[in-house]
Amino acid sequence: MGLQRVHVAGGGLAGPLLAVMLAQRGIPLTLYERRSDPRAHGTTSGRSINLALADRGIRALEQAGLMGQIRPMMLPMRGRMVHDPQADSAPRLLPYGQRDREVIYSVGREALNRVLIEAAARLPEVQLRFDTTCTDADPVRGTLTCQDNRSGARHEVREAVTIATDGAGSALRTSLARAGHVVVTELPLEHDYKELHVPPRDAQYALRAEALHVWPRHGYMLIALPNPDHSFTATLFLPRTGAPGFDTLGSDAAVEEFFRSEFPTAAALIPDLATQFRTHPQGHLGTIHTDPWARGSVLLLGDAAHAIVPFHGQGMNAAFEDCTVLDSLLEGAGKSAHHDWPGIFATFNAVRRTDAQAIAQMALENYAEMRSAVLDERFLRHKAWALQLERLHPARFIPRYAMVMFHPEISYSQALRRGDVQQQILAALDQDADAAGLATQLNGAQLARAQELIAAWL
C-alpha cells in the first residue's frame, strides 16, 4: 500500500513549495488553488508586486532544489536608501550588513508563484486543481470540502490529511474556528497600504537600483523595491483615518498635494500618480494569532496560521521556513508507509509557535524603525556601534536585523531574545558616555566596557 495522499489547500507561495518538498519524499498530494492556472496567462493584475526574499526563504528554496530557477529573478538590495524629509538632503544608504553576502533580494510575487507551480507540476506525485476553493476542513469527520469555481460543484474528500496554505484570509482557519477547534485572534493595524508603479526613466531605474528606498515620515512612510524591467513598486503605508490618512486623500488634488509636500522626489517620478492612487486597491494589514495550528489531521501553515505585518519583509520567508521545519519533521519520521500525521502536525505546532510569535512582534517593531527611528541620531549611533561590535565579536554580537535576515541558523525567538540583551548593552554604553562618547564609533574605554557586558550577558 502506498503513502497516504496529502491535500494542500492554497497554491500561493508556501503551498507549491511544500508540495515540491512532500513530493520529493515520495508523498502523493493534491494542491488546490482558488485562482486559475498562472501558467495559462500573464500577470492577472497587470502590475508588478514584489517581495523581499532573505536567507531563511533562500535556504528553503535551496533545500527544494529550486534556486537555479529563482536566482535569475532576484534583484539584490544592499541596504535602505533613506530619503530624508529635508528637500535638500541627498538620500543616504544604510547598509543591511557589513559583508558582501548580507543583502536581501526583490522578487516578483507572480513570477515566483509561477516558478513554484511549474516545479510542483513537474513532479509525478503532484496533482494540481486550479479554480478550486477549499471551504471547510473537519478534523473530527476527517473531511476536506472544496468547490469547483466554474461548475459550482462541491466535493468532499474523506480521510483527508489537509495542510491549509490558503493565506491570511484562510477559509479553512475560519472553518476550524467556527467549529471551536482553534481560537483566532486578529489584530488589525490601523494603517493601510497602497502600491504604486514607478516607471523606468530613459529605460533605466529612476532611483538607484540595488537598494530598498524608504521615505520615512514618522507617522507613515513610502517604500520602493526594484523590478527586473527597471521599474520600482512603491508602497505607501499610512493611517486609515486622520490627517494625513487615507480617508483625507479622497480627491486627485488632495493626493497630488500630499505627495508634493511629503514625498516630492517620489512624486516627480510617477506621472499618473493621482490616477494610480484612485484605481489601485487600498490593502489592510494585521497580525493573526491562531491557537493551535493543528487539529487531528489538519494543519495550518504560513499566513493561514500566523499572518504578520510586512515591515520586516519576513512573512513569505517565515512561511517558507515553516516548510523546512515540517520537512525536517518528516525526515525525522523516516520512510514508514504511514506517517503519523496528527503527531507530526502537533509537533510542528509545538516547535514552531514561539518563533512565529517572535517574528510577529519584531515585524511590528520594525514599522516604527523604518518610518521613524532611521531619522533619529541615537538609533543611527546604535546601528553603527552594533556593526562595530559585530566586527569585533562576530560570534557573540550580531545586530538583530542581521540575525533575522541573514542567520537562519538563529531562530526568530533567539534573535528576539539576543536582540533585547544587545539593546540593553547599547543603552548602557549610551548612559556611560560623555559627549565625546556619543560619536558613531565606540572609543577604547567604551569597547572595553562593551566587552565586559558581552561576556556577562550574551
Question: Does residue 12 bind ligand FAD (CB under 6 A)?
Answer: yes
CB of 149 to ligand FAD, least distance (A): 9
* Distance in Å from the first CA to the final CA of the chain: 52
In contact, 296 and 142? CB cutoff 8 Å? yes
Phi, psi (deg, nearest 5) at residue 18:
-65, -40
246 touches ligand FAD by CB under 6 A: no
Interface with ligand FAD: number of residues (CB under 6 A): 32
Residue nearest to ligand FAD (CB): 12
Q: Does 315 bind ligand FAD (CB under 6 A)?
A: yes
User: SS3 string of the chain?
Assistant: CCCCCEEEECCCCHHHHHHHHHHHCCCCEEEECCCCCHHHCCCCCCCCCEEEECHHHHHHHHHCCCHHHHHHHCEEECEEEECCCCCCCCCEEEECCCCCCCCEEEEEHHHHHHHHHHHHHCCCCEEEECCEEEEEEECCCCEEEEEECCCCCEEEECCCEEEECCCCCCHHHHHHHHCCCCEEEEEECCEEEEEEEECCECCECCCCCCCEEEEECCCCEEEEEECCCCCEEEEEEEECCCCCCHHHCCCHHHHHHHHHHHCHHHHCCCCCHHHHHHHCCCECCEEEEEECCEECCEEECCHHHHCCCHHHCCHHHHHHHHHHHHHHHHHHHCCCCCCCHHHHHHHHHHHHHHHHHHHHHHHHHHHHHHHCHHHCHHHHHHHHHHHHHHHHCCCCCCCHHHHHHHCCCCCHHHHHHHHHHHHHHHHHHHHHCCHHHHCCCCCHHHHHHHHHHHHHHC
Kindly tell me which residue out of 3, 11, 215, 413 binds ligand FAD, with binding defined by CB under 6 A: 11
Query: Interface with ligand FAD includes 429 (CB under 6 A)?
Result: no
Closest CB 303 distance from ligand FAD, rounded Å: 4
Find the binding residues for ligand FAD in span 159-198 (CB under 6 A). 165-167, 171, 193
Stretch that binds ligand FAD, among 32-40, 198-206, 368-376, 437-445 (CB under 6 A): 32-40
Residue 334: CB minimum distance to ligand FAD, A: 27
The C-alpha atoms of residue 142 and residue 297 are separated, in whole angstroms, by 7
Q: For the CB of residue 381, give the shortest distance to ligand FAD in the complex, in Å.
A: 27
Contacts of 294 (CB under 8 A, 6+ apart): 300, 342, 345, 346, 348, 349
CB 135 within 8 A of CB 175: yes
User: Which range binds ligand FAD by CB under 6 A, 58-66, 119-127, 269-277, 316-324?
Assistant: 316-324
Nearer to ligand FAD, 10 or 216 (CB): 10
- Shortest distance (Å) from residue 179 CB to ligand FAD: 16
**Residue whose CB is less far from ligand FAD, 12 or 108:** 12
Name the one range near ligand FAD by CB under 6 A: 5-13, 258-266, 428-436, 449-457: 5-13
| Region of 29-37, 86-94, 360-368, 447-455 interacting with ligand FAD (CB under 6 A) | 29-37
Binding string to ligand FAD for residues 351 to 390, with x set by CB under 6 A, is what?
A: ----------------------------------------
Site string for ligand FAD, 265-294 (x = CB under 6 A): ------------------x-----------
Which of 216, 313, 399, 419 binds ligand FAD (CB under 6 A)? It is: 313
| Sites for ligand FAD among residues 78-137 (CB under 6 A) | 133-134
Distance between CA atoms of residues 317 and 75, nearest Å: 16
CB 208 within 8 A of CB 226: no
Closest separation between CB of residue 252 and ligand FAD, Å?
Answer: 23
Binding piece for ligand FAD, criterion CB under 6 A, among 307-315, 350-358, 403-411, 415-423: 307-315
Chosen residue from 108, 216, 226, 310 binding ligand FAD by CB under 6 A = 310
* 51 sits near ligand FAD (criterion: CB under 6 A): yes
Q: Which three cell numbers stand for residue 443?
A: 572609543
Measured between alpha carbons, how far is 20 from 24 in angstroms, rounded to an integer? Answer: 6
Contact between 321 and ligand FAD per CB under 6 A? no
Candidates 3, 6, 8, 9: give the one binding ligand FAD (CB under 6 A).
9
Among 160, 189, 316, 404, binds ligand FAD (CB under 6 A): 316
**212 in contact with ligand FAD (CB under 6 A):** no
Among 15, 139, 292, 296, binds ligand FAD (CB under 6 A): 15
For ligand FAD, the closer of residues 32 and 341 by Cβ is 32
Give the one residue of 4, 24, 28, 35 binding ligand FAD; rule: CB under 6 A. Answer: 35
Residue found under cell 533585547:
420
Residue whose CB is less far from ligand FAD, 54 or 442:
54
Binding site for ligand FAD (CB under 6 A): 9-15, 32-35, 51-52, 133-134, 165-167, 171, 193, 235, 283, 302-304, 310, 313-317, 319
